[in-house]
Structure 1
């Protein structure tokens, strides 16, 4: 099966893990600090602005907590977003308010956001769909003008930027994912950013039980008497990552430029060889100054044939999907009869193709060939049935 996502892990990552094993320090330690520093450098911010977590979801929950979101508050987020984002809002006792998206990029626009803002809006939780930055600059300005906190879900946008500024750093807080399906993989893991370093310091403590000395490694650096004593600043969870995963992450950061080049090569092939396929819309061009991580490559297929085309691809060894199922249709979030026409239409037409750096040229050729045949035959059949 040609997978839609696939990690690229090899001998260098194994060697890094072996070195951690030899050190006998497996928990949060020097390698975790190195990974945080390297990621901060990648973002173009100081190390005091980031801290790692055991997942992007945990970092998202943390961001919502640090934003002071609670009962009676509303948080605006796109209907096309990950379930973890909505869970973070709902678990705080707040109301997730889902807004519509651009029908082609599936990103929130300022016009979509402004329709959803109310006096009760405490924060906006923005997704960069597929790695496209979207209108993040303008949305950040709107949030600042309204006194609303902006949290960026940059799980898809590890290397996305606008005019050289990294996505995830436009708002008050940002979060990234390093799970098995992302561009940079640490098996599981996440990163938290805040514009305010004091908020990062508070986040680091919350990620480890609210302890003032938030890991055994930091305690081991103390030379004062009774270094084992501690104070608790919040009643929090244990949500830190460790040196085993961070060692993998450091190697992945070395390899990231190559990953991005290969993903761009595949995107260029898809653009070139699918451009003239009838009934299919490709992702729109990026605006000047915008850079995408190329996390997703999505098509929009006309004629109500998306699902059968996906089935044809699957039967030919090609896995596809739609990211993400519409959150305003999930009964648990209480959205009721909200209608978001762009998101709903996109959800019926959009299909994400395989896109990862381990794809071979033969994999890409096969995907393009099968897709051409499937769309052409299914579209012809649909038109015949209508005539």
Structure 2
């Protein structure tokens, strides 16, 4: 099966893990610190503004907690979002208010967000769909003007930028993922950026049981006497990263430029080979000044054909999907007002395989299968 998402791991990652094993320290330690430093440099911020966690979902829950969102507060987010975003909001007692998205980009516009704002809106949580930055600069300006917090889910957007500025750093808090399906992986893991360094420091404490200081066994000699004594400032969870994951993530981050080059090649190939097919729309071009991570490559075709084409490709060994199912249609959130742009997109959109491990043969298989399916189904 040609997968939609797939990591590329090799000898360098194995060597990094071996080094961690041989150190006899596999918990949170030096490798985590190095990974945080490298990621902070990658997005152009000081290390004091970032903290690693065990998943992007945990980072999302921490973001809601850090901003004090709770009962009586509304949080606007696009209905095309990962379920963890709505769960984090609802779990803290706040109300997720879903907004529409542009049918072609599947990102919310400023107008989409403005239409969903209420007097109780305290925050906006946006996803950069497929690594496209979207109208993030204008959305950030809207939030500043209204005195509303902005959280950026940049799980798809590890290398996305607008005029050189990293997505994830436009708002108050940014979130990234390193799970098995992302561009750079750490098997699992996440990163949180906070514009306010004190918030980032608080996030690090919340991620480790509310402890006011952390001293692993390898750091005990640097501590005062009775380094085992603790001070707890909050009733928190344990959601830290460890050196094994950070070692893999650090190598992957170093390989990111090569990964992105291959992904751009895949995108260019699809753009060239799929152009001009009747009834098939390709992803819109990025605006001037925008750089994308090329996380998704999505095509749009008539709604009456989409599911049948997906089935045809699956039977030819090509896995496709639609990301993400519309959250305003999920009963538990109690919100089902019409959002026509998202609903049209959800009926017409199909994500094709896009990852750096795709071979040239894989690409030819995907294109041939898609062309033949559309031709047969359109008769």
| Structure 1 length-normalised TM | 0.97
In structure 2, relative to structure 1, the CA distance for the partners of 1:107 and 1:9 (3 Å cut) is same
Q: How does 1:1-387 map to 2 (within 5 A)?
A: 1-216=1-216, 220=220, 222-302=222-302, 304-335=304-335, 337-380=336-379
Q: Which runs of 5+ in 1 are unaligned?
A: 381-387
Distance 1:35 1:247 in 2: 7
| Residues 213 and 219 in structure 1, CA contact (< 8 A), matched pair in contact too | no
In structure 2, relative to structure 1, the CA distance for the partners of 1:217 and 1:287 (3 Å cut) is farther
Distance 2:118 2:110 in 1: 14
Deviation at 1:302?
1.6
Deviation at 1:33?
0.2
Distance 1:227 1:217 in 2: 9
Cα deviations across residues 38-89 of structure 1 (Å, max 9, x unaligned)?
0000001110010000000000000011111001111000000100000000
**Aligned length, in residue pairs:** 379
Distance 1:207 1:353 in 2: 36
Q: 1:385 aligns to what?
A: none
Deviation at 1:224?
1.5
| Residues 130 and 156 in structure 1, CA contact (< 8 A), matched pair in contact too | yes
**SS of 2:125 mapped into structure 1:** strand
Runs of 4+ aligned structure 1 residues displaced above 3 Å come to none
Distance 1:344 1:196 in 2: 37
Distance 2:71 2:378 in 1: 49
| Residues 169 and 193 in structure 1, CA contact (< 8 A), matched pair in contact too | yes
**SS of 1:265 mapped into structure 2:** helix
Distance 2:138 2:378 in 1: 39
Distance 1:152 1:278 in 2: 36
Distance 2:290 2:188 in 1: 28
Cα deviations across residues 311-354 of structure 1 (Å, max 9, x unaligned)?
0000000000000000000010010x400000001000000000
Distance 1:258 1:286 in 2: 21
**SS of 1:375 mapped into structure 2:** helix
Distance 1:239 1:307 in 2: 39
**SS of 1:233 mapped into structure 2:** coil
Distance 2:60 2:183 in 1: 19
Distance 1:83 1:119 in 2: 25
In structure 2, relative to structure 1, the CA distance for the partners of 1:218 and 1:136 (3 Å cut) is farther
RMSD: 0.9
| Residues 215 and 227 in structure 2, CA contact (< 8 A), matched pair in contact too | no
Deviation at 1:196?
0.4
| Residues 215 and 223 in structure 2, CA contact (< 8 A), matched pair in contact too | no
| Residues 28 and 217 in structure 1, CA contact (< 8 A), matched pair in contact too | no
| Residues 152 and 175 in structure 2, CA contact (< 8 A), matched pair in contact too | yes
In structure 2, relative to structure 1, the CA distance for the partners of 1:272 and 1:232 (3 Å cut) is same
